[in-house]
């Protein structure tokens, strides 16, 4: 069984409440339940969410030390601003997939650039919460 970590950054704890016209009505708890139902026999999950950059960086380092098999990360707004998170991902040497619930290319120009994407194997954008499922499928096939 593979160990897959799911990291969510700032404001993703507000899923289901914050801008449902963009992010939908499901919550992180719903996502966790759905991932466990779909992949429970193939993956052991470590779910983590923080609104704090340093906590996410510390978690990436801990996951690297624990040698998880894969990482799905939605860094929220930090995706577009955090060199420190990018450096943590590069230094972790973990197979990672970046996920965006919305299509970042249909949104504000500043969201079109991801600082963290070059530290990841792939990027999934615009599939809603299904993007997490696609990322996990990809990591399980590696």
Active-site residues, by number, are 23, 100
Question: What's the start-to-end Cα distance of the chain, in Å?
Answer: 13
Q: Which residues, 6 or more positions from 36, have their beta carbon under 8 angstroms from its beta carbon?
A: 45
| CB < 8 Å & 24+ apart, contacts of 113-116 | 113/80, 114/79, 114/80, 115/79, 115/80, 115/81, 115/82, 115/83, 115/85, 115/86, 116/73, 116/75, 116/78, 116/79, 116/82, 116/85, 116/86, 116/89
For residue 115, what is the DSSP state? S
> Which residues sit opposite 62 in a β-bridge?
none
What whole-number distance in Å separates Cα of residue 3 and Cα of residue 1?
7
């Amino acid at each position: 069984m593979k160990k897959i970590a799911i990291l969510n950054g700032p404001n993703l704890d507000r899923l289901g409440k914050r801008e449902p016209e963009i992010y939908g009505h499901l919550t992180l708890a719903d996502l966790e339940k759905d991932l466990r139902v779909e992949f429970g026999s193939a993956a052991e999950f470590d779910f983590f969410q923080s609104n704090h950059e340093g906590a996410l960086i510390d978690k990436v380092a801990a996951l690297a030390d624990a040698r998880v098999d894969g990482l799905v990360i939605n860094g929220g707004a930090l995706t577009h601003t955090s060199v420190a998170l990018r450096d943590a991902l590069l230094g972790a040497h973990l197979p990672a997939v970046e996920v965006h619930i919305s299509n970042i290319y249909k949104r504000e120009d500043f969201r079109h650039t991801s600082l963290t994407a070059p530290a990841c194997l792939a990027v999934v954008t615009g599939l809603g919460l299904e993007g997490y499922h696609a990322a996990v499928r990809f990591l399980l096939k590696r």
